[in-house]
């Protein structure tokens, strides 16, 4: 069998282009003796006929317009799912902190699902405008347990200052 015909058959077997098929120089006589597809398969198994690996395109080539598939929005990294997941996490956090009721939680959850909010900040502004959540100030942000601890530490610091001042005067 001719080398060209053997390459065609090998390309069909290996599911690749004819240009990628290479016959090793020491196996040319074996290819000429081959008569059937099974003979070619045996030569492929014996690694006398091989398919060369595809060359990977450079990054610049992959970014060219002719290579792109999909619109600019489809190729963008921030997807709808990512926004929705972030908004749902925020809503869940607010529910756990009991800043939003279960009833309001369900309503807002559906609004998030329908894509009403562009980002977490737009969700927060909606909640504040509708008065579904109280505005968070720095004093409210600190939990009650930490407030009590802060008061105790302040008292201790004040007592130490007073005692330190008395000891210096008496000396």
Domain CATH number, residue 38: 1.10.1650.10
* pLDDT (0 to 100) of residue 141: 46
The answer on 162 and 124 residing in a single domain is no
* pLDDT (0 to 100) of residue 92: 94
Domain annotation covers residue 61: no
Rounded to the nearest 10 degrees, the angle between the axes of helix 3-14 and helix 37-45 is 70
Please check the confidence at residue 26 and state whether its pLDDT lies above 50: yes
Domain annotation covers residue 64: no
The answer on 144 and 131 residing in a single domain is no
The answer on 130 and 154 residing in a single domain is no
Q: Is the pTM of this model over 0.85?
A: no
pLDDT digits (tens, 9 = 90+) for 114-164: 999 999 999 999 999 998 886 554 444 444 456 667 777 777 777 777 776
Taking the C-alpha atoms of residue 32 and residue 29, their distance in angstroms, rounded to an integer, is: 5
Domain annotation covers residue 121: yes
75's CB contacts (< 8 A; 6+ apart) are 68
Domain of residue 159, residue span: 140-170
The answer on 31 and 14 residing in a single domain is yes
Picking from 32, 51, 70, the residue at the C-terminal end of a domain is 51
- Count of the separate structural domains present in the chain: 3
Domain annotation covers residue 62: no
Question: Looking at the DSSP assignment, which residues form a beta bridge with residue 51?
Answer: 21
SS (H, E, C) the chain: CCHHHHHHHHHHHHCCCHHHEEECHHHHHHHHHCCCHHHHHHHHHCCCEEECCCCCCCHHHHHCCCCCCCCHHHHCCCCHHHHHHHHHHHHHHHHHCCCCCHHHHHHHHHHHHCCCCCCHHHHHHHHHHCCCCCCCCHHHHCCHHHHHHHHHHHHHHHHHHHHHHHHHHHC
């Amino acid at each position: 069998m001719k080398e060209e015909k053997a390459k065609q058959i090998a390309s069909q077997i290996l599911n690749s282009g004819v240009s990628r098929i290479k016959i090793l120089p020491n196996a040319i006589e074996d290819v000429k003796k081959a008569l059937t597809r099974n003979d070619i398969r045996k030569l492929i198994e014996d690694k006398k006929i091989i398919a060369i690996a595809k060359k990977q395109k450079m990054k610049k080539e992959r970014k060219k317009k002719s290579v792109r598939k999909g619109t600019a929005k489809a190729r963008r990294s921030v997807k709808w799912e990512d926004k929705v997941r972030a908004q749902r996490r925020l809503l869940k956090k607010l529910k756990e902190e009991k800043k939003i009721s279960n009833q309001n939680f369900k309503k807002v959850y559906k609004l998030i699902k329908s894509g009403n909010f562009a980002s977490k900040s737009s969700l927060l502004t909606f909640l504040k405008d509708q008065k579904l959540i109280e505005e968070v100030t720095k004093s409210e942000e600190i939990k009650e347990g930490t407030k009590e601890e802060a008061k105790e530490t302040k008292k201790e610091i004040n007592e130490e200052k007073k005692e330190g001042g008395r000891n210096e005067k008496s000396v």
